[in-house]
Structure 1
Amino acid sequence: MAPPRWRGSLTAGYQFFLALGVLIANLVNYATAHASWGWRVSLGLAGAPAVAIFVGALFLTDTPSSLVMRGRADGARAALLRVRGPDADVEAELRDIAKAVEAARRGEDGAFRRMATRREYRPHLVLAVAVPMFFQLTGVIVLAFFAPLVFRTVGFGSSAALMGAVVLGAVNLGSLVLSTFVIDRYGRKVLFMAGGVQMVVCQVAIAWIMGAKIGKGGEAAMAHPYAVAVLVFTCLHTAGFGWSWGPLGWVIPSEIFPVDIRSAGQAMNVSIGLCLTFVQTQSFLAMLCRFKYATFAYYAAWVAVMTVFIALFLPETKGIPLESMGTIWVKHWYWKRFVHDRKQSNVALT
């Protein structure tokens, strides 16, 4: 039996190792906080992953599309089997890749143009934008970056704030590991919505506590029990993200894009996410200073919107082979108006 598709997804692994890296960084910050040269260690060690990435890039293997383009069909089949599992049936996907390569050679529309102009790719285009956007607007990314500052704001000392960031990173990593046991058991939409509800409740609770106990001007000190409550709700918020949106934000794009537009879809997913990460990290401090506790209500509102969006517009992809996704779009109450003319046997969704 082939392993679940998401476990073979390199993009889902990206989220796991990102969480691991954040935890390690927080541990280093905490360990070197009392040394005058500690900040140099924290900054200098950031170069170690960069070196590892550079060396690892030298050993990257060719993609199946690249191998097919150079006439190495057997090599492409072997590459797909390494990703999908030794018992997976990759022949249909290999044929789709061959068709996409042949279409590119004939000068047909590229993947980006097909997504942008063809009606049958409308659901893919919408989700390619919406999923990474909502992924970032959960607020988890900026909370992970600025956790020590948030904890200092609610009354923790410097060391306690750094330890709070360590706890937050550990919770995120642990919840991502937990997701490996539930993601293929309960389905994608259930986890999306359950995690969304959990994050909304926690963000509203954080906003209420900070608004009621810090004061409008931020001068009043927060009592320690309330500061601990903020830490607890922040951890619960991160846990809700870690076992739902954390992995699923990467898994869903790998499951919904057909082969002929997968490169464009994945490129949009990653680039939109990284651009929003940059925007949020540059604007979060200004938001926190100006809006204070309302910053968390802002993120709670976005999580509520994205939860409703998922409930309405994302089809369940649990256990659905890539070659059968066409039938899922046809049956969806909204997207069927765009793909209603497709046949069930249309593997490539073209």
Structure 2
Amino acid sequence: MLIGGLLFLAGALLNFTAVNIEMLIIGRILLGVAVGFTSLSAPLYLAEIAPARWRGAFTSTFHFFLNVGLFMADLVDYGANTIPRWGWRLSLGIGIVPAGFIVVGAALIPDTPNSLVLRGKVDEARASLRRIRGLDTDINAELQDIIQAAEEDKMHESGALRRLGRREYRPHLVMAVAMTVFFELTGVIVVSIFTPLLFYTIGFTSQKAILGSIITDVVSLASIVVAGLVVDRFGRRSLFFLGGVVLILSLVAMAWIFGAQLGTNGEVAMPRGYAMAVVALVCVYTAGFGVSWGPLSWVITSEIFPLEVRSSALGLSGAVSGLLTFAQSQSFMEMLCRFKYITFGYYAWWVVVMTVFVAVFLPETKGVPIESMGAVWAQHRYWRRFVKPAPATRANGP
């Protein structure tokens, strides 16, 4: 996280002071690398320090604060849009502030006990766990579980990426790729990147389109808070099912409105009532995404993998996510122009597929200690044919 924060700081500074296109490109590259570092390390850190019964809420805070950043960025863009000549510098350079917080925060927080034990620093791991859990908590059982998981990891062959190719880790490989691919295919790119353009298409001015994007950001934050409050009570799968239904209905409704009111040529202006209905549907979609695939994709990918493949699986997920985000950001406009309203139906179909996938293949991890994730796979009705039974461990934390 510290390296990611420093890269964020360097990239934002370059963009803020840019005097040519080369500086802007280099700054954007640094920011992209920083996203890779932090999007891998932050949810993993949260998952490893969280008590089992609160891990879903802890890890979902990553997506919450990610959306806080998007909300603040939209506010900055809304104001910078009114400033001639140097407003773009404000929009790009304001990232210096959160980058500074990341650097300072990463320097102050303790390393995770899991990471310290893997590096042979058991005494430091004990001190870190004591600091995280509190002085009045018995940490011995949890520390022993962490040490046991680390010892099992050392018994495996070196090369975590190679392990993912072995039969017993095939479920983890499938899940690492599938959850990331499905996250991108929910149509999130519509609301995370192209919301202002979508609102502009239905007749809003550019300023009102940005304001509409701010409204969806507020809805997103509220829904993520709800997800964080209930995920450890009702479980991950239940929220995936709920979110899947909401996403399918809202995407199909948007496809119908765009098809009926704009057709395939887009030459007819959308009536105001239907335009407001689109805004409402985008908010409904955002709420459905915010209680399901938004936070839970981070929760699942950061918690469900056993220690011996956790880092490689998360690294693979991050790489796939980056490639898909790039591909979709480059192709979405072409897709929308060519297929028009069918684009929304395309994403709705993928949500159907991923909801079925969750129902059949995703194990429930509510309340399971992160050191016991191997047992989750071994007990699953399908994946148990690949995974060897794992030894039982004690629950970690209160």
Instruction: State the Cα distance separating 1:159 from its structure 2 match.
Output: 2.0
Any conservation in 1 of the 2:114–2:150 contact (CA below 8 Å)? yes
Any conservation in 1 of the 2:301–2:314 contact (CA below 8 Å)? yes
Counterparts of 1:30-179 in structure 2, within 5 Å, are 30-37=78-85, 38-59=87-108, 61-64=110-113, 67-68=116-117, 70-80=119-129, 86=137, 89-100=142-153, 102-103=154-155, 108-117=157-166, 119-179=167-227
Q: Which moved more, 1:77-86 or 1:91-100?
A: 77-86
Deviations 1:244-269 (A, max 9, x none): 11111011123221111111122122
1:5 to 55, 76, 98: 55
Give the equivalent residue in structure 1 for 2:325.
277
Aligned-CA RMSD value:
2.4
Deviations 1:24-71 (A, max 9, x none): 111112223333243332223234334444454555644545533554
1:343 to 1:152, Cα distance in 2 relative to 1, 3 A: closer
Give the equivalent residue in structure 2 for 1:188.
236
Q: TM-score, normalised by structure 1?
A: 0.88
1:342 to 385, 389, 397: 389
Instruction: State the Cα distance separating 1:83 from its structure 2 match.
Output: 5.6
Q: Does 1:29 align with 2:77?
A: yes
Q: Whole-Å Cα distance in 1 between the matches of residues 115 and 232 of structure 2?
A: 31
Q: Which structure 1 segments of 5+ residues have no match?
A: none
1:271 to 1:249, Cα distance in 2 relative to 1, 3 A: same
Give the equivalent residue in structure 2 for 1:255.
303
Any conservation in 1 of the 2:117–2:146 contact (CA below 8 Å)? no
Q: Whole-Å Cα distance in 2 between the matches of residues 13 and 274 of structure 1?
A: 21
Q: Whole-Å Cα distance in 2 between the matches of residues 31 and 46 of structure 1?
A: 15
1:34 to 1:252, Cα distance in 2 relative to 1, 3 A: same
Instruction: State the Cα distance separating 1:112 from its structure 2 match.
Output: 1.2
Any conservation in 1 of the 2:176–2:317 contact (CA below 8 Å)? yes
- Identity among equivalent pairs (%): 50
Q: TM-score, normalised by structure 2?
A: 0.78
Any conservation in 2 of the 1:93–1:259 contact (CA below 8 Å)? no
Q: Whole-Å Cα distance in 1 between the matches of residues 353 and 67 of structure 2?
A: 25
Q: Whole-Å Cα distance in 2 between the matches of residues 50 and 258 of structure 1?
A: 31
Instruction: State the Cα distance separating 1:74 from its structure 2 match.
Output: 1.6
1:116 to 1:83, Cα distance in 2 relative to 1, 3 A: farther
Instruction: State the Cα distance separating 1:325 from its structure 2 match.
Output: 3.4
**How many residues matched?**
339
Q: Whole-Å Cα distance in 2 between the matches of residues 14 and 273 of structure 1?
A: 16
Q: Whole-Å Cα distance in 2 between the matches of residues 151 and 178 of structure 1?
A: 26
Give the equivalent residue in structure 1 for 2:343.
295
Q: SS of the residue aligned with 2:366? A: coil
Instruction: State the Cα distance separating 1:185 from its structure 2 match.
Output: 1.4
Any conservation in 1 of the 2:182–2:354 contact (CA below 8 Å)? yes
The one-letter code sitting in structure 2 at the alignment partner of 1:6 is G
Instruction: State the Cα distance separating 1:274 from its structure 2 match.
Output: 2.4
Q: Which moved more, 1:150-159 or 1:305-314?
A: 150-159
Q: Whole-Å Cα distance in 2 between the matches of residues 246 and 113 of structure 1?
A: 29
Q: Which structure 2 segments of 5+ residues have no match?
A: 1-49
1:313 to 1:54, Cα distance in 2 relative to 1, 3 A: same
Any conservation in 1 of the 2:57–2:232 contact (CA below 8 Å)? no
Q: Whole-Å Cα distance in 1 between the matches of residues 269 and 352 of structure 2?
A: 30
Give the equivalent residue in structure 1 for 2:272.
224
Any conservation in 1 of the 2:58–2:228 contact (CA below 8 Å)? no
The one-letter code sitting in structure 2 at the alignment partner of 1:97 is A
Any conservation in 1 of the 2:305–2:374 contact (CA below 8 Å)? no
The one-letter code sitting in structure 2 at the alignment partner of 1:192 is F
Any conservation in 2 of the 1:19–1:173 contact (CA below 8 Å)? yes
Q: SS of the residue aligned with 2:255? A: helix
Q: Does 1:203 align with 2:251?
A: yes
1:250 to 1:27, Cα distance in 2 relative to 1, 3 A: same
Q: Whole-Å Cα distance in 1 between the matches of residues 138 and 339 of structure 2?
A: 54
1:91 to 1:134, Cα distance in 2 relative to 1, 3 A: same
